[in-house]
């Protein structure tokens, strides 16, 4: 089964202030601590940090993590997404594209200790901000993706593995085949502008409160509902997720340390498979859900796609099988810590149930209830036919 990257691309929009395919998130801050890897380490001296974006999903988590450790924030964005969020924080308006409107003019001549780029998807755009800021910032942090890797079937992908490429590097359309290579080119652009001062973060599937894509939220909601739940594969496929608040804490800690280099950042720290994830969700929700595991070949026949129809799931034998089992050894050594999945599940449900009713009725990932029943009925019928034969 081929992994549908639709969910990956839609989810990317929720990381910053730009919108790729219309995915929006709530302006409400997620519950729970914003610093998942404090480990008792005291903050360093207060820093002035610029965030390009900052008002959607990972952005607010970064603001909260930085504020909790005494840092001063400035947000640069178009002022269109959640403009009332963080009234105490300085906000500068402009456009990431220097050819649109006032472009990056609001950043000219200003100095910051570090900049965190949550909203870069096109290398030309990242190059413009990185080159402009290079003389006046100490560090450039670029939020990339584990989707950059070329050989996605490889297990334990690490930061030295080859990244994907494009035949035409001037392409700027973010699509299923270009998303990863474009992110890799963005990393390259940032490093070229600030050699030795760039921190490239490659997250896995980012989850938790404020996730406007529902690419993980589907499972806590579905499991909490109870009854027979369609579960993909045989339960042994590896899966990795990272709570946005833990990702933000890792980033802010390494801004304080002036860390440079490339890090895969996902979780949990110990390997997890799909069965383990769903059982942890069941435990956290106290649900009576019954999991019916439906094999990959049958789901393929039913046109049920990995990651989009079955969020977070990637078959371990497919062409993108490595995306659920990347190495996080470097990040762990650099202080990565992840909260228990149950905490993320409960906080995600609390956030989601606080959204407007019309939003709650329209999940943006996963199977509809009717479609799930249809596939389960077909699966049971196929099993019955096989036994009768």
Tens-digit pLDDT profile for residues 48-60? 999 999 999 999 9
Q: Sorting pLDDT into bands at 50, 70 and 90, what band is 43?
A: confident
Question: Which CA distances in Å does 388 have to 132, 294, 374, 382?
Answer: 70, 19, 21, 10
Cα-atom radius of gyration of the chain, to the nearest Å? 21
- E-only strand ranges, 148-188: none
pLDDT at 386 over 80: no
**Among 5-19, 174-188, 230-244, the least confident range:** 5-19
Quote the pLDDT of residue 384: 85
What is the rounded average pLDDT of the residues 369-384? 96
Predicted confidence (pLDDT) per residue in 291-347, tens digit: 999 999 999 999 999 999 999 999 999 889 999 999 999 999 999 999 999 999 999
How far apart are the C-alpha atoms of 273 and 135, rounded to whole Å? 45
Residue 244 has pLDDT above 60, yes or no: yes
Work out the average pLDDT over 52-80. Answer: 97
Q: What local confidence, expressed as pLDDT, does residue 40 receive?
A: 59
**β-sheet bridge partners, residue 74:** 50, 90
Read off the pLDDT band of 204 (50, 70, 90): very high
User: Residues 251, 54: contact at Cβ < 8 Å?
Assistant: no
> Which pLDDT belongs to residue 39?
54
CA separation (Å) from 182 to 149, 202, 251? 11, 13, 22
- Residues 147-158 have a mean pLDDT of 96
- Residue 27's pLDDT is 34
- Region 90-106: what's the mean pLDDT? 97
Band (pLDDT 50/70/90 cuts) for residue 385 is low
Q: Which pLDDT does position 1 carry in this prediction?
A: 55
Percent of the chain whose predicted confidence (pLDDT) is above 90: 85
| Whether 50 contacts 62, CB under 8 Å | no
């Amino acid at each position: 089964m081929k992994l549908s990257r639709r969910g990956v691309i839609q989810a990317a929009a929720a990381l910053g202030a730009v919108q790729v395919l219309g995915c929006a998130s709530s302006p409400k801050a997620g519950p729970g601590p914003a610093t998942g890897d404090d480990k008792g380490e005291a903050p360093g001296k207060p820093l002035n940090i610029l965030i390009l974006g900052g008002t959607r999903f990972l952005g607010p988590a970064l603001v909260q993590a930085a504020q909790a450790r005494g840092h001063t924030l400035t947000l640069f964005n178009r002022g269109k997404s959640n403009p009332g969020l963080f009234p105490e924080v300085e906000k500068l308006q402009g456009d990431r594209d220097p050819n649109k409107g006032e472009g990056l003019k609001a950043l000219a001549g200003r100095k910051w200790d570090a900049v965190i780029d949550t909203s870069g998807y096109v290398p030309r755009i990242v190059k413009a901000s990185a080159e402009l800021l290079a003389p006046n910032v100490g560090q450039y942090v670029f939020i990339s993706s584990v989707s950059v890797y070329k050989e996605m079937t490889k297990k334990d992908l690490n930061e030295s593995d080859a990244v994907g490429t494009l035949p035409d590097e001037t392409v700027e359309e973010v699509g299923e085949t270009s998303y990863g290579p474009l992110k890799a080119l963005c990393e390259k652009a940032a490093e070229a502008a600030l050699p030795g001062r760039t921190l490239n973060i490659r997250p896995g599937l980012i989850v938790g409160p404020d996730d406007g894509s529902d690419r993980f939220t589907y499972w806590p909601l579905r499991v909490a509902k109870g009854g027979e739940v369609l579960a993909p594969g045989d339960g042994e496929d590896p899966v990795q997720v990272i709570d946005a608040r833990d990702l933000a804490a890792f980033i802010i800690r390494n801004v304080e340390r002036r860390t440079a280099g490339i890090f895969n950042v996902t979780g949990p720290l110990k390997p997890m498979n799909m069965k383990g994830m769903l059982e942890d969700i069941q435990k956290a929700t106290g649900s009576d859900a019954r999991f019916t595991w439906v094999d990959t070949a049958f789901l393929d026949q039913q046109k049920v796609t990995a990651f989009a129809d079955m969020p977070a799931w990637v078959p371990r034998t497919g062409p993108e099988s490595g995306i659920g089992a990347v190495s996080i050894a470097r990040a762990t050594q650099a202080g990565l810590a992840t909260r228990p999945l149950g905490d993320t599940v409960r906080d995600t449900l609390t956030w989601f149930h606080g959204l407007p009713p019309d939003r709650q009725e329209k999940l943006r990932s996963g199977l509809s209830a009717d479609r799930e029943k249809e596939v389960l009925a077909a699966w049971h019928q196929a099993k019955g036919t096989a036994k009768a034969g």
